[in-house]
Structure 1
Amino acid sequence: MIGAQYIADALQHNTTLIILDLENNEIGAIGAQHMADALQHNMTLTTLNVSGNQIEDEGAKLIDDALKHNT
């Protein structure tokens, strides 16, 4: 989860990254929440892969909601 928080912090301020593949990194629901918070502010990311991370339904919904605001 700590790693996901660091990535989320970086994403919040990143203006060049367009693809992020985090497949199978054990992010979990709490990590997904950090990612979702960051994705509300990141406007450059176009592709995000978080499959295999046990983010559960709650984490998926948080990321989904964040991406709805990130257009």
Structure 2
Amino acid sequence: MSISPGVARGKIGAESLNQAFDDAVRASSFAVAGLPAAAKHAGKIVYVSNGASGAACLAYSNGTAWLRILIGAAVSAT
């Protein structure tokens, strides 16, 4: 992730703020065959264009494997 120099220096205008937010939340995109080693990316979230039986999904690394994130399920503490 790279943040523009203006944001890094604290010069936050509406355009810079929008760019910083976009840089912070945009997940890197991969196909399954191109996923980097999970061990080197523990805790990272990526967009996988074909990771759910050919459909797009989000995935995260637990340090051992890339795991799909179930989208559409309610958040629950239990």
* Larger of the two Rg values belongs to structure: 2
* Larger relative helix fraction: 1
Question: TM-score scaled to structure 2, two decimals?
Answer: 0.26
TM-score by length of 1: 0.27
More strand by share: 2
Which gives a bigger RCO, structure 1 or 2 (Cα 8 Å, sep 6+)? Answer: 1
